Amino acid sequence: MARLLEFGFRAFLGKRPMKLWPVVLPVAAAIALAAAGLVYYYWDWTAQAGGLAVNFARYLNAPQGTLTTEVAEPAAAQPPPAASPAPSSDRSDWPSYNKTLTSNRFSTLDQINRDNVGDLTLLCTYDTGQYTGFNSGLIEVEGALVAATEFDIFSLDPSTCRENWRQHEDYTPASPQGVNRGAAYMDGILYRGTQDGRVLAYDLKSGGKLWQTVIADVKKGESVPAAPIAWEGLVFVGNAGGDVKGVKGRMYALDGKTGKVVWEFYLVPKEEKDPTRGPQGDSPLDKSSWRNGPAFPITGGATWTSYTLDPETGLLYVPGGNPAPDFAASEREGENLYSGSVVVLDAKTGAYRTHFKIVPKDWHDWDVSSAPAIIETSNGRKLLSVAPKDGHLYGFDLASGAQLYRMPVTRVEDADKSFSPGIPVHFCPGSIGGAEWNGPAYDPQTNLVMVGEVDWCTTATLQPAEQLMKTPDGKPWSGEDTRNPYNTWGKQDSFGHWAGWLYASDADTGAWRWRIKTNYPLQSGVTPTAGGIVFFGDMGGNFYAVDAANGRKLWGRNMGGAIGGGVITYQAGGSQKVAVATGLTEILWPTPVTTAKVSVLGLGAAR
């Protein structure tokens, strides 16, 4: 930096008397040292500010959104579609992160359909005024549209976007990523997590805070960004931070009225030194699948998106994150259970029932991140549909536990190439590729599972073991050999060398029927409806409606900010509405720089 400042001063001074240099150079050095100190001591702030500046420049001439649809050759005989779900008492609402506890995301509303969706218009927008990683799921219940940012939760009129109330929390977050994935609702109460390890409850009507419970240690790098789910008096949520040295993933059930911990379940082996925050769910897990050395504490298995529950069986399905150090598989030999798995627990007691090991051995940071979907296919099979970050769609028969298929749904390259210290390896999907925090959706009218994917690759260079051991507890522990904090989870391909995919696959066979490629990654919720359309958005701010039968584009517009959160539909004011969270702005993603907003669209006149 001192050399750059010297160059600038020389350009400014030109042929001015040399006697100025003894004054100028010390001043330049002092400025450089001050700037370096600012970055060192205020990294969280400077990283975000720097990222915003770079992204602003990137999007000055960013390309418009494009969408290309490909339809598979028709099969010899397609099974008949499953029967559409009968209208339920909550068909007009969107009461949970993925609408239903089973996470299928299908809406039986059909006022907006393939014939009239071309008339969709923007009705209103609520601007939070915050530059933040806005990927909140949205819920709409009892006449309130609810979303959350890192520090705020707010309720809006679902027809006009008028603010009903907004509550702010002041705290120091565990991470510079300003994210929160939304709220849960049950019996007049809203629930959300925070980036300092708490779960909070608010009155739906007034916004008054009812209780708070700490389930994670912010000093260790733990947080609670996931969207909880709620059922029969219990709130289910876990802790994040599995990329941080020493952090272990855990799952909790809290009493919905009081916040008391009903049970706790460690998603990786619990040791004597680990804290106990409540009664332990029965678990067969021991350290036999983690053959770590003494300088490599068991780390990982955290949760950071949302969860799925089957009300018929009372079973809770928990997606388990990556093991750490992320890229250093040789330092944690074994299966590393239950990381990279969907863990099935008794929702009432927290007792282990079974697990599905999705990523057998992870050295790419391929979390099983998003909530799986429980669906009943056109063949009458009860299926678990899973889309992790490894770029595949999985189908499991829930009656037998058998894996029925594993199909690629984005670009997959060099997935089996091993990592060695000092040798760069390029792989796809990258460490922030595949399916992130929004998982599969299911359309029973077409028997299609639909999932959005990030096609973006990473180059990782593994640290030597002696460097890995020196990482302090409570610090990011990916194993990437870099001095650039922006490359902590590997170096992503350059801006624009990416894409998004929306795959629509046969729920019984996994074969794709149609697929869409966009020129920006897809991370939003995917929402099929009884109107024969599918809504989704991309990280360039492009919002689309396509035909559920063939992927044909029916409508689209740019919303002005990255769409990485909730896309929902509901009925309010006598008509069907569509709401979308826009304005995801954070350091890991090159996105348009704008404030977080919630927009409502419909067929009525624009406001």
What is the predicted pLDDT for the residue at 57? 75
Q: How many CA atoms lie within 13 A of 103 on its CB side?
A: 33
> Which H helix or E strand runs over 25?
helix 21-41
pLDDT for 372 equals: 98
- Give residue 36's pLDDT band: very low, low, confident or very high (50, 70, 90): low
Distance CA 154, CA 166 (A): 4
DSSP label at 462? B
Residue 227 pLDDT > 90, yes or no?
Answer: yes
How many other CB atoms are there within 10 angstroms of residue 347's CB atom?
Answer: 26
Locate tokens 């360039």: which residue? 540
What's the whole-number mean pLDDT along residues 316-340?
97
pLDDT at position 604 over 70: yes
Contacts of 17-26 spanning 24+ positions with Cβ under 8 A: none
Per the listing, tokens 């260079």 go with 461
Q: Which helix (H) or strand (E) holds 7?
A: helix 2-13
* Cα gap 245→587, rounded to integer Å: 21
Q: How far apart, in whole angstroms, are the C-alpha atoms of residue 42 and residue 20?
A: 33
Least confident of 55-59, 260-264, 427-431: 55-59
214 Cβ contact partners less than 8 Å away, ≥ 6 residues apart: 197, 198
pLDDT of residue 58: 74
Per-residue pLDDT, 402? 98
| pLDDT at 335 exceeding the cut of 50 | yes
Tens digits of residue pLDDT in 153-183: 999 999 999 999 999 999 999 988 889 999 9
Sign of CA dihedral 433, 439, 443, 448: positive
- The residue with greater pLDDT, 189 or 23, is 189
pLDDT at 507 over 60: yes
Tell me the C-alpha distance between 605 and 607, whole Å: 6
Lowest average pLDDT, out of 10-19, 271-280, 427-436, goes to: 10-19
Q: Which fold has domain 182-368?
A: Lipocalin (2.40.128)
Runs of H (alpha helix) within 416-514:
465-470
pLDDT for 18: 45
How far apart CA 108 and CA 96 sit, in angstroms, is 15
Per-residue model confidence as pLDDT tens digits over 42-78: 555 556 666 667 776 777 788 999 999 999 987 544 5
pLDDT grade, residue 486 (50/70/90)? confident
Instruction: Report DSSP letters for 543-607, one per residue.
Output: EEEEETTT--EEEEEE-SS---S-EEEEEETTEEEEEEEE-B--TTS-------EEEEEESS---
Of 98, 88, 93, nearest to 158 by C-alpha is 93
What's residue 182's pLDDT?
98
- Band of residue 90 on the pLDDT scale cut at 50, 70, 90: low
* Average pLDDT for the chain: 91
Residue 5 confidence (pLDDT) above 50: no
Task: Give mean pLDDT, residues 357-362.
Answer: 97
Determine the average pLDDT of the residues in 254-266. 98
DSSP of 111-149: SS-TTTGGG-EEEEEEE----BB-----EEETTEEEEE-
- Residue ranges per domain, the chain? 182-368
Query: Among 27-36, 542-551, 581-590, which is the least confidently predicted range?
Result: 27-36
| pLDDT, greater one: 14 or 250 | 250
How high is the pLDDT of residue 25? 57
pLDDT above 70 for 80: no
pLDDT tens profile 175-205:
888 899 999 999 999 999 999 999 999 999 9
Please determine, for residue 100, whether its predicted confidence score (pLDDT) is greater than 50.
yes
Is residue 236 predicted with pLDDT exceeding 80?
Answer: yes
CA distances to 316, 359, 368 from 231, rounded to whole Å, are: 10, 29, 23
